[in-house]
Amino acid sequence: MNMHGSITRRNFFKSASAIGAGALIGHEVSSPSQLMAQADGASKPVVIASKNGLQATAKAMTLIQEGADALDAVIAGVNLVEDDPNENSVGLGGLPNEEGIVELDASVMHGPTGRGGCVASLRNIKNPSKVAKVLMERTDHVLIVGEGALRFARAHGFKEENLLTEESRQAWLRWKENLSTTDDWLPPHDIETKGIGMNRGPAYRNHGTINCNAVDLRGGISGCTSTSGLSYKIPGRVGDSPILGAGLYVDNEVGAAGSTGRGEANLLACSSVMVVEFMRQGKSPEEACLQACQRIVDQTKMKRLLDEQGRPKFDVVFYAINKRGQFGAGALWSGERFTVNTGEKDSRQLEMPFLFKRGA
């Protein structure tokens, strides 16, 4: 154990695979390593995504098998999630900032041409991933934010719409009404009501995001990350998703990695580029993801972010693929899942390898 009470670098791969790797959800059981073994050898198409990526990975793999470029495929997959009003962490229906306004972040990276595009704090446009791709293709810039990003999207014909669904507005209002005991916003209550107006802290905040990465039939590697970011954030807050190197990174000779979870922790570690570099050094995608998780643990020193055993109270999750079509993922905490499609059967969800078991 190190000073945080966590497992050491030497041991964590062993314990992660012993505890965490493995069960297939909804279909037959198989482990990530079995599936990776199937994908061993020559470059094979693969799509990996966060747990909200079942439809996205299926769509992306269908397009890849029809000959599509990996970037077009992952963006088409992510667009399904951005367009879904019931997915409250991405695109339309995403949870808003503290003023009740939805602000979206996204990044794309195209391995074969070594290009990328990102937008942050984009309002009124439900597909920030598409805007990021247009930025990559039609400008000399890599990152554009806020009002400038909205004007850029308008100039390229993107349709503006209100992204706040009734469900997300009501969730935001519940959050605001329960924010603290010192402001004037209270939920409906009567003389007997207890426990309202208490700041319930980060457990009630949402960092949901989609990351989707793919290898196509030509061995081209690309990725996309899209999010409405931390729910009820300070307006203008930007997480890791639209920052290349943090929420997404692609190197066409090595692989791709992306993240979901607490963006602030990942911005301080720049872990997606780290995952790709670990794979370049010979680590498997799973080993690289878990090593990046361990780096976040090692770099988290503020006590307010640590539990009694010195472990981060938050989670960060990484998803990675390499040039050969091998895939893997890793999280700080147990209980997560990721999605994969190797083109041989339907998209499937796998339990995520992890560093710490919840409740232990």
CB of 207 to ligand GLY, least distance (A): 4
Among 106, 230, 288, 329, binds ligand GLY (CB under 6 A): 230
Told to judge if 260 belongs to the known catalytic residues of this protein, a careful annotator would answer no
- C-beta of 106: minimal distance to ligand GLY in Å? 11
Residue 209 beta carbon to ligand GLY: minimum distance, rounded to whole angstroms? 4
Of positions 53, 263, 328, 353, contacts ligand GLY by CB under 6 A:
263
Place of tokens 């930025």: 135
Minimum distance, C-beta of residue 266 to ligand GLY, in the bound complex (Å):
7
Stretch near ligand GLY under the rule CB under 6 A, chosen from 189-197, 260-268, 283-291, 297-305: 260-268
The secondary structure of the chain, three-state, reads CCCCCCCCHHHHHHHHHHHCCCCEECCCCCCHHHHHHHHCCCCCCEEEEECCCHHHHHHHHHHHHCCCCHHHHHHHHHHHHHCCCCCCCCCCCCCCCCCCCCCEEEEEEECCCCEEEEEEEECCCCCHHHHHHHHHHHCCCCEEEHHHHHHHHHHCCCCCCCCCCHHHHHHHHHHHHCCCCCCCCCCCCCCCCCCCCCCCHHHHCCCCEEEEEEECCCCCEEEEEEECCCCCCCCCCCCCCCCECCCEEEECCCEEEEEEECHHHHHHHCHHHHHHHHHHCCCCHHHHHHHHHHHHHHHCCCHHHECCCCCECCCEEEEEEECCCCEEEEEEECCCEEEEECCCCCCEEEECCEEECCCC
Options 57, 127, 209, 341; binder of ligand GLY; rule CB under 6 A: 209
Is 242 a binding residue for ligand GLY by CB under 6 A? The answer is no
Stretch that binds ligand GLY, among 17-25, 94-102, 237-245, 342-350 (CB under 6 A): 237-245
Q: Does 96 bind ligand GLY (CB under 6 A)?
A: no
Q: Which is nearer to ligand GLY, 168 or 342 (CB)?
A: 168
Residue closer to ligand GLY, measured from CB, 230 or 290? 230
The residue behind tokens 């009694």 is 308
CB of 355 to ligand GLY, least distance (A): 18
Does position 287 interact with ligand GLY (CB under 6 A)? The reply is no
Does 342 bind ligand GLY (CB under 6 A)? Our answer is no
* Residue among 69, 82, 87, 240 that touches ligand GLY (CB under 6 A): 240
For ligand GLY, the closer of residues 260 and 347 by Cβ is: 260
Cβ proximity of 147 and 119 under 8 Å? no
Residue 261 binds to ligand GLY (criterion: CB under 6 A): yes
Task: Pick the binder of ligand GLY from 207, 295, 311, 324 (CB under 6 A).
Answer: 207
Q: Which of 209, 225, 260, 300 is catalytic?
A: 209
Of 30-38, 71-79, 112-120, 236-244, the segment contacting ligand GLY by CB under 6 A is 236-244
In whole angstroms, what is the distance from residue 258 CA to residue 71 CA? 14
Alpha-carbon torsion, ordered 294, 286, 217, 66, to 10 deg:
-90
| Site membership for ligand GLY, residue 241 (CB under 6 A) | yes
Q: How far is the CB of 73 from ligand GLY (least distance, A)?
A: 22
Catalytic (active-site) positions: 209
Contact set with ligand GLY (CB under 6 A): 207, 209, 227, 229-230, 239-241, 260-263
